């Protein structure tokens, strides 16, 4: 008797699962406040030179831009260009960001990009380290530790005043970016009934992550200072300290560690919590089943992730998944953060476009099983590329003060496309990778994506040279990602590969233009044609 059958008797959608989904929602709020804290603290408002007027005569005139001024004295025929030493900032409701406080603009604007890039360096190493820790000490304690580590990084960032310390604390903050969410996702996935997983996981993510995004700018404005905001954003992470008292460790992890008694203890507690009575014989059969299973030498035990690079088709799939992860991660980060200079308050725009997580989640729920994993991934990237390119063109040609509403709408559409692509990619990659190396494969793909995310701050920095440049750059990447999707196999309604050998043969005869929605139409048309032909034959025979 396997885990799924035992859990069905103990309750796989009862009171415990409701509690688990509630805490999963809380984790999504904490995760959204944490990930996008780097955006909230670094908004750069419009600014102009603060001129040292006492250095000039009454007849002096100055031509000023945001980074320099030209002084001309007609009496002395004197002209001099100087770089600004201080600035006046048009602060949103008086909000003091790290950019305005430390005056990281113009020649010093690179410091913000450098510091923020270390967040993604931390993400790479944190995914590796906490993934290893989760395999050693368990999913639940690792989830608590990684969440507190990220919160500590945010808290310490609030005390910095120089680039080296800012880089160090953002590195610490980035350590928990992926794992605090993924580990909780695994717990929910394992304890929730299969028929409720897709809807439950996606709707909780859409509602609660969206809620965290939408309230964060208002928290910042209300508190008025980036340092206070980081304190407030890191404080909710302390709530995970109650998780060990409310939740149970992953039963599947306990089984892999041969901790059968503890796995039974967790299942019994869940049954009691859900008001179910389960006979001891069920658990005895359960333990016997897994003891025998662990004693058998499985053919998949020799499979390693590096094995995916040894055969041609799997090697192609792996490289493409790496490239797509790079593209989607950097596009998701930039389209979520690049909300300045379009004529609307970045606080308002960030909050309102955060609502896109809800329709994005519903889009995946409603359409992914119709057009297929490949179709959803390809369409979201292709449409997102068109929207992003159009946004870049409009930013370059329209006056933000007159067309702020149009530009804000386009930014929201681009963010919606990025969210759909990001969430669709996670499930698609997990289904393509064979079961025997799925855990390691998904982790490695995430690591590579976050490693490439290191460059997102520098791509955003390109906007200081030419405002639409980040949008145009990302649109090209998204077009490439959409094209790469066509080279991958469809996984909808198919038996997924269990071993590397099965993965190499998976969908081998499938054409690059195969999509399930079109295939159903062709099958239906073929069936109708066959029926019509059969009816014609029958009619002739009757005559």
CATH class of the domain at 1-36+108-296: mainly alpha
C-beta neighbour count of 129 within 10 angstroms: 16
The pLDDT of residue 52 is: 61
Q: How many CB atoms lie within 10 A of CB 432?
A: 25
Q: State the Cα–Cα distance between residues 238 and 147, nearest whole angstrom.
A: 9
Hey, where are the domains in the chain?
1-36+108-296, 47-89, 311-512, 517-542
Residue 86 phi/psi, 5-degree rounding, is: -150, 165
Helical spans, DSSP H, in 296-403: 312-337, 346-353, 357-397
Q: Are 371 and 515 in contact (CB under 8 A)?
A: yes
Instruction: Provide the pLDDT confidence category of residue 79 given band limits of 50, 70 and 90.
Output: low
Give me the pLDDT at residue 438, please: 73
pLDDT band at 151 (very low <50, low <70, confident <90, very high): very high
pLDDT of amino acid 65: 65
- Predicted local distance difference test score (pLDDT) of residue 338: 75
Please list the alpha-helical segments (H only) found in 225-311. 226-234, 243-246, 251-256, 260-273, 280-295
Tell me the pLDDT tens digit for each residue of 493-535: 787 787 888 888 888 888 888 887 776 544 444 434 443 554 4
Band of residue 443 on the pLDDT scale cut at 50, 70, 90: confident
Q: What CATH architecture does domain 311-512 belong to?
A: Up-down Bundle (1.20)
Query: In terms of Cα–Cα distance, which of 124, 102, 119 is closest to 111?
Result: 102
How far is the C-alpha of 68 from the C-alpha of 2, rounded, in Å?
70
- Write phi, then psi, for 490 (nearest 5 degrees): -80, 145
384 CB-contact burial (10 Å; exposed 0-12 / middle 13-18 / buried 19+): buried
Q: Collapsing DSSP states into helix, strand and coil, what is residue 487?
A: coil
- Tens digits of residue pLDDT in 312-329: 999 999 999 999 999 999
- The two domains 1-36+108-296 and 311-512 share their CATH topology (first three levels equal): yes
- Cα–Cα dist 367/383, whole Å: 15
Mean pLDDT of 461-473: 86
């Amino acid at each position: 008797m396997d885990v799924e059958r035992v859990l069905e008797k103990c309750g796989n959608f009862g009171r415990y699962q409701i509690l688990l989904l509630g805490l999963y929602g809380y984790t999504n709020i904490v995760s959204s406040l944490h990930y996008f804290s780097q955006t909230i603290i670094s908004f750069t408002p419009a600014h102009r030179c603060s001129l040292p007027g006492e250095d000039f005569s009454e007849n002096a005139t100055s031509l000023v831009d945001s980074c320099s001024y030209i002084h001309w004295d007609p009496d002395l025929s004197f002209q001099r260009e100087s770089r600004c030493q201080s600035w006046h900032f048009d602060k949103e409701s008086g909000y003091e960001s790290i950019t305005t406080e430390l005056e990281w603009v113009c020649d010093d604007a690179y410091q913000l990009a450098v510091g923020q890039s270390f967040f993604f360096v931390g993400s790479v190493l944190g995914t590796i380290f906490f993934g290893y820790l989760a395999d050693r000490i368990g999913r639940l304690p690792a989830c608590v530790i990684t969440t507190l580590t990220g919160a500590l990084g945010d808290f310490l960032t609030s005390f910095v005043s120089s680039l080296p310390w800012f880089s160090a604390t953002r590195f610490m903050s980035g350590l928990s970016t992926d794992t605090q969410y993924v580990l909780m996702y695994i717990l929910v996935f394992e304890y929730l009934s299969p028929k409720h997983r897709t809807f439950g996981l996606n709707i909780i993510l859409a509602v609660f992550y969206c809620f965290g995004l939408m309230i964060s700018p208002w928290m910042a404005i209300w508190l008025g200072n980036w340092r206070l905001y980081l304190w407030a954003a890191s404080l909710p992470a302390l709530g995970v300290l109650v998780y060990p008292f409310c939740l149970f460790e992953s039963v599947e992890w306990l089984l892999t560690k041969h901790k059968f008694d503890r796995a039974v203890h967790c299942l019994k507690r869940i049954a009691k919590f859900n008001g179910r009575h389960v006979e001891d014989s069920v658990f005895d059969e359960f333990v016997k089943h897994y003891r025998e299973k662990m004693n058998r030498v499985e053919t998949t035990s020799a499979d390693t992730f590096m094995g995916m690079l040894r055969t041609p088709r799997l090697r192609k799939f792996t490289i493409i998944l790496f490239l797509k992860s790079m593209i989607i991660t950097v596009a998701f980060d930039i389209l979520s953060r690049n909300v300045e200079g379009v004529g609307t308050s970045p606080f308002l725009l960030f909050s309102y476009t955060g609502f896109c997580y809800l329709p994005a989640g519903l889009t995946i729920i409603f359409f992914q099983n119709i057009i297929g994993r490949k179709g959803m991934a390809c369409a979201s990237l292709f449409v997102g590329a068109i929207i992003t390119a159009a946004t870049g063109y409009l930013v370059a040609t329209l006056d933000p003060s007159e067309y702020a509403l149009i530009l804000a709408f386009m930014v929201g559409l681009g963010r919606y496309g990025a969210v759909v692509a990001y969430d669709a990619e996670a499930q698609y990659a997990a289904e393509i990778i064979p079961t025997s190396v799925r855990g390691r494969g998904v982790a490695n793909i995430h690591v590579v994506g976050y490693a490439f995310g290191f460059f997102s701050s520098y791509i955003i920095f390109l906007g200081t040279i030419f405002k639409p440049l980040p949008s145009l750059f990302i649109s090209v990447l998204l077009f490439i990602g959409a094209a790469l999707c066509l080279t991958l196999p469809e996984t909808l309604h198919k038996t997924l590969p269990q071993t590397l050998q099965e993965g190499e043969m998976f969908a081998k005869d499938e054409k690059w233009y195969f999509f399930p929605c079109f295939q159903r139409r062709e099958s239906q048309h073929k069936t109708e044609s066959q029926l019509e032909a059969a009816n014609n034959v029958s009619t002739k025979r009757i005559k």
